Amino acid sequence: MNPFEERKKQQQKIDSAMKNIKYLIAVGSGKGGVGKSTVSANLALSLAKQGYRVGLADADVYGPSIPTLFNIEGQDVMAVQKDGEELMVPFEKYGLKLMSIGFLVDKKAPLMWRGPMASNALIQMLSQTDWGELDYLILDMPPGTGDIQLTLVQSFRPAGALFVCTPQQLAVSDVRRAVNMFENENLKVPVLGLVENMSYFTPTEFPDKKYYIFGKEGGKELARELNIDFLGEIPISENVSTCNDNGNPVAMSFDSVEAKAFMALADRVVEKSKNI
């Protein structure tokens, strides 16, 4: 089989795997460490709490977080035969279907993969998972703007993308490149907007207090500069960190400041995706 035919066959397989997913939403960032996986996980949970059928795919090949965030590390992935093909069965927790590259690699071994190897592994993971029918599949992308991101976007053609930054000027600068890549005329992925994580610190005992310890409104200013929507601010707190470590994402709470912020973000994503 020549490379053209092989690529065509791979694309047909991808299209078949995605055909029952209404909205594939990519969550990206310009750099690591901004809480992209935390936002992805809690956005997915907030959508599920609204009654949508939701999947969460962890494509952050060099730092998969979903197994830890949902306390399902070290489990074996099951397979099922469907239409003559062996498909991986996603894990289900809190009403979400979950799959991560972290389930398929040795946690203790470094991933010494070049770009094409990583891209092919992610394509295989996403296209050989039995997602079923979903309203939303949230794709937790690797940070940055390299070969892996380009391959995923070209192959899976997300319905839309949102980007995560923090208020610091350095993080704001990095996300410019990520947004520009998705808006490139060769990709043209609709950008739903920008969400600012770690926007302010709110002490648990004083939920009405806001301390802007990393600066203020950097994300809003960048959204205005790039002419994209600002989707909201997510506070930083000990509660978020504790919930992450315990495998119970903070969106599982119904009345915390953080859960309300993620629910507001989910509302905006629903509103924006319906207008794509």
pLDDT in tens, 135-179: 999 999 988 888 888 889 999 999 999 999 988 766 566 788 888
Average pLDDT over every residue of 98-126: 78
Q: What CA–CA distance (Å, rounded) separates 140 from 37?
A: 6
pLDDT at residue 203 tops 90? no
Taking the CA of residue 137 as centre, how many other CA atoms within 13 Å lie in the half-sphere pointing to its CB? 29
List the CATH number of the domain containing 236: 3.40.50.300
* Domain enclosing residue 81, as ranges: 3-273
Q: Residue 87's pLDDT is what? A: 93
pLDDT at residue 197 tops 60? yes
Predicted TM-score (pTM) above 0.75: yes
Closest listed residue to residue 72, CA positions, set 29, 28, 41, 113: 41
Q: Residue 171's pLDDT is what? A: 58
Between the CA of residue 235 and those of 38, 47, 62, what are the distances in Å?
Answer: 12, 19, 26
Q: Residue 50's pLDDT is what? A: 95
pLDDT in tens, 45-62: 999 999 999 999 999 887
Per the structure, how many domains does the chain have? 1
